[in-house]
Amino acid sequence: MTFEELGVREDILKAITELGYSSPMPVQEKVIPHLLNEDSDVVALAQTGTGKTAAFGLPVLQRISTSIKQPQALILSPTRELCLQIGSDLADYSKYIDDLKVLPVYGGSSIESQIRALKQGVQIIVATPGRLIDLINRRTVKLENVHTVILDEADEMLNMGFVDDINDILSHVPEERKMLLFSATMPAEIAKIAKNYMHNPQEFVIGTRNEGAENVRHVYFLVQARDKYLALKRVADHNPNIYGIIFCRTKRDTQEIADKLISDGYNADSLHGDLSQAQRDTVMKKFRERNLQLLVATDVAARGLDVNDLTHVINYGIPDDIATYTHRSGRTGRAGKTGISVAIIHSKEKSKLRLIEKRIGKTFEHLEVPKPQQIIEKQLYNLADRIEKVKVDEEEIEKYLPGIKKKLDWLSGVDLLKRVLSLEFNRLLEYYKDAPTLDIPIAEKKERGKRGRDKDPRERTIDEKDRRTAENGYERVFVNLGKADGFFAPNLIELINQNTKGSRINLGRIDLLSKYSLFDVKKGDAHRAISAIKNAEFYGKRVYAEIAVLDKDYTIESKGKKRNSRSEIKEFRHEEKRHGRTRFEDAEELISQSGKGKGKGKKQKSKKGKEDKKRHGNFDAFIKKK
């Protein structure tokens, strides 16, 4: 099948041939002839990188009348980057169509210049919903001649909260128009839009609904949460020619990871919403031109980044939304090439991974984090490959050889090779010297848990002393609060932050046990942390903290006040006041009357107590304990 056989016009064929388009991709084979020859609307489910822009762009260009200087086609996209990318592609496809104008309309750019361009006359508008609504409200854009509406990345537009804007925009275009909806997934909201605004839509599914790209290998590394960044560096080091996107959940994480990578000597940069449009354009240009190997990005910022030949997509944080993972992984393995989608997770994220596996119909392969020896070997072979393939300018280099040869003539070939390699790899060898294993082997973890359950409690107490050992550069701190007190990591962080004066104290590893907890803090901050929380109160219990002592048996040690039912009631009252509730008095009566008296009074109090139990989960657990 060729583009000519699909019905693509000669002037457009000439342009796409110059761009290197040879044969149509599956989505193009299905969509192009339908748009050119059929009346019904189209819903196309296809992943990012499957050729969607050409699939809708080529027939749209062919249906435009250049004699009419009014918008005839409207393309909506979720982000300004994607908006610009589509506009650029359409301009390339229409290179030989005279008098055809395409206008990208998006926020972050001068609305006055966009209004001027509209007044001069355009046939195709590519817009983000927010900016188009602004232009509609200003009555500066006329949509009555629009005969084709395209929603690209529709599921992402819904995720970003544009559903009301889309409904508003569609109310301003003619009822009789052709509508196309492109999406990687098919959530209920998209089905609703299709039902309300489309006429007997024809559905094309490229691959399987909600699945990831066929050419993508899905792998994951299981590590401690604190080791995620170290694992990320090892993945990058083990793939010297990596060209990939690292996805983070927040703008803050994105910037922090990018800063760390740059500081550690990696060719990386960040892309997120806090950057100005000029900064984002600069970063994307560098990445497209492969002047960057690693781009650390948020999902929203990377939406318009259309880049071919990505080797890796790395999920530094697993997204909550499965469609988001599908979009991420779809950025590699494009145009028939293979790619790898990597997830770096800790044990609490495994359930998310299993859910994604179920939805996309693919199994994630568990890999061990690359070991230092494997990384060094891979890097050495990569250097050897570069030396072997380097282009030598014989004429220019020849004039310098006699002096260099004389200086190095005393070295044997092997000695010279060792020095060349050492010059390149001394830093890497030093960094990975005695580096620990990072991953948590799944089988070993299960076996360790099984062995732990079978042990004598006294043996487990001895093993728990291993928790007293801090990471390098840190000190281990004991605090007399544990899970039995309702004390968890967020409580510890809040307790320290609220009572610390001066700069914030950064914590390391936190181990929560039943009756006490242990946590790491940088050596210089250990005594500050202890002073901050010592003698504070946590729901009526006085806090005690000290540098963890290796031989001390904290399991039988009790610091602070011993609790009884009255002190616990006082504690719950305190919690109620913090949350603006006032009905623990009835619950207190219920406890005081428990097991005493019979009759109507008790039933009334029990009824009130039951109401409190329904309202207060913590107290419900307390009642059961009593």
Would you tell me how many other CB atoms lie within 10 Å of the CB of residue 89?
17
- Condensed to tens digits (0 to 9), the pLDDT of residues 301-338 reads 776 566 778 899 999 978 877 778 887 887 787 655 67
556 in a structural domain: no
| Number of domains making up the chain | 5
The predicted pLDDT at position 623 comes to 40
For residue 186, what pLDDT is reported?
67
Q: What is the pLDDT of residue 614?
A: 45
When pLDDT is averaged across residues 114-141 and rounded to a whole number, the result is: 92
Q: Answer with the residue of higher pLDDT: 56 or 586.
A: 56
Question: Can you give the length of the chain in residues?
Answer: 626
CATH number of the domain within which 462 lies: 3.30.70.330
Mean per-residue pLDDT over the chain, rounded: 79
- Average pLDDT for residues 231-253, to the nearest whole number? 92
* Biggest alpha carbon–alpha carbon distance for the chain: 111
Q: Which of 94-108, 377-391, 473-487 has the lowest mean pLDDT?
A: 377-391
Whether residue 100 lies inside any domain: the answer is yes
Question: Mean of the pLDDT values across residues 525-542?
Answer: 85
Last residue of a domain, one of 182, 205, 228: 205
> What average pLDDT does range 375-398 have in this prediction?
83
Q: Is the pLDDT of residue 451 over 80?
A: no
Calpha distance 441→431 (Å, rounded): 23
State how far the Cα of 561 lies from the Cα of 567, in Å rounded to an integer.
9
Element (H, E) at 149: strand 148-151
Residues 62 and 124 in one domain: yes
- Residue carrying the six token digits 């009822």: 175
pLDDT band at 601 (very low <50, low <70, confident <90, very high): very low
Q: What span, in angstroms and rounded, lies between the C-alpha atoms of 169 and 299?
A: 25
Q: Give pTM, 2 decimals.
A: 0.51
Say if 450 falls within a structural domain.
no
Predicted pLDDT of residue 617: 46
- Sorted by sequence, the CB contacts under 8 Å of residue 174 that are 6+ apart come out as 143, 144, 145, 146, 147
Examine residue 60 and state whether it is found in any structural domain, yes or no.
Answer: yes
336 with 409, same domain? no
Residue 2 has pLDDT above 70, yes or no: yes
**Amino acid, single-letter form, for residue 321:** D
Same domain, 324 and 387: no
Of the candidates 150, 156, 218, 148, the one whose C-alpha atom is nearest the C-alpha of residue 186 is 156
* Domain termination site, one of 366, 389, 407: 366
| Partner residues linked to 220 by β-bridges | 343, 366
352 lies in the same domain as 380 = no
Residue 115 in this model has a pLDDT that exceeds 90: yes
Together in a domain, 28 and 59? yes
Bridge partner residues of 247 (DSSP): 297, 315
Residue 341 has pLDDT above 80, yes or no: yes
Span 408-414, average pLDDT: 87
- Among 324, 343, 366, the domain boundary falls at 366
Determine the pLDDT at residue 306.
67
The kind and range of the H/E element at 366 are strand 365-366
Residue 439 belongs to some domain of the structure = no
8 Å CB contact between 266 and 334: no
**Statement: residue 397 has pLDDT above 70:** yes
Please indicate, yes or no, whether residues 72 and 110 belong to a single structural domain of this protein: yes
Give the whole-number percent of the chain exceeding pLDDT 70.
80
Q: Is pLDDT above 70 for 618?
A: no
> Is residue 552 one of the residues assigned to a domain?
no
One domain, residues 13 and 98: yes
**Residue 245 maps to which CATH number?**
3.40.50.300
Residues 22-38, mean pLDDT to the nearest whole number: 87
Q: Which residues pair with 518 in a beta bridge?
A: 478, 511
Residues 394 and 361 in one domain: no
Structural domain that includes position 192: 3-205
> Using an 8 Å Cβ cutoff, are 365 and 219 in contact?
yes
What is the per-residue pLDDT for 494?
A: 81
DSSP of 587-625: HHHHHHTTTS--SHHHHHHHHHHHHHHHH-HHHHHHHHH
Q: How far apart are CA 382 and CA 391, in angstroms?
A: 16
pLDDT of the residue at 467: 61
Tens digits of residue pLDDT in 64-92: 999 999 999 999 988 887 888 899 889 99
In a domain, 554, yes or no: no
- Which single residue is written with the structure tokens 């039933």? 603
Mean pLDDT over 116-122 rounds to 92
In a domain, 449, yes or no: no
Q: Could you tell me the pLDDT band of residue 357, with boundaries at 50, 70 and 90?
A: confident
- Are 131 and 163 in a shared domain? yes
Same domain, 595 and 461: no
Condensed to tens digits (0 to 9), the pLDDT of residues 462-505 reads: 344 446 677 777 888 999 888 887 788 878 888 888 888 777 78
Domain co-membership, 38 together with 169 = yes
Mean pLDDT value across residues 364-392: 85
Structure tokens given for 433: 């010297």
State yes or no: pLDDT of 57 exceeds 90. Answer: yes
Which of 180, 109, 113, 127 has its CA nearest to residue 150?
A: 180
Q: Are residues 379 and 264 part of one domain?
A: no
Residue 438's pLDDT is: 86
pLDDT for position 270: 93
